Amino acid sequence: MPKDLPPWKSVYYYYAKFCRLGLWQELNDALREKVRVKNKRRLSPSVAILDSQSVKTTLVGGQHGFDAAKKVKGRKHHILVDTLGLLL
């Protein structure tokens, strides 16, 4: 963590609290709606796109596999985005 931030325990406390209260979801939804309106789109997307990312991992522990298309050994993350690439 950068030195100008509060201690990691304080940061994690608020991060976990915001997760429990659903504030991150509300924030993401509000920002996505603002961006969609600015781009002259409807508030709610009508299409979702499944996007994936392969991330290299170490040889130690955890689940891992091999992405033959990208020739990467590691984990694959999947997310849903709208047509503007905004996280759903």
pLDDT tens digit at each of 88 positions of the chain? 678 889 999 999 999 999 999 999 999 999 999 999 999 999 889 999 998 777 776 666 566 666 666 566 677 778 899 999 898 8
Instruction: Tell the burial category of 54 from Cβ atoms under 10 Å away from its Cβ (0-12, 13-18, 19+).
Output: middle
- Final residue before a domain boundary, out of 9, 25, 44: 44
Q: Are residues 51 and 14 both part of a single domain?
A: no
Q: Are residues 22 and 52 both part of a single domain?
A: no
Cβ–Cβ < 8 Å for 48, 81: yes
Q: How many domains does the chain have?
A: 2
Cβ–Cβ < 8 Å for 56, 40: no
What tokens were used for 76?
Answer: 């694959």
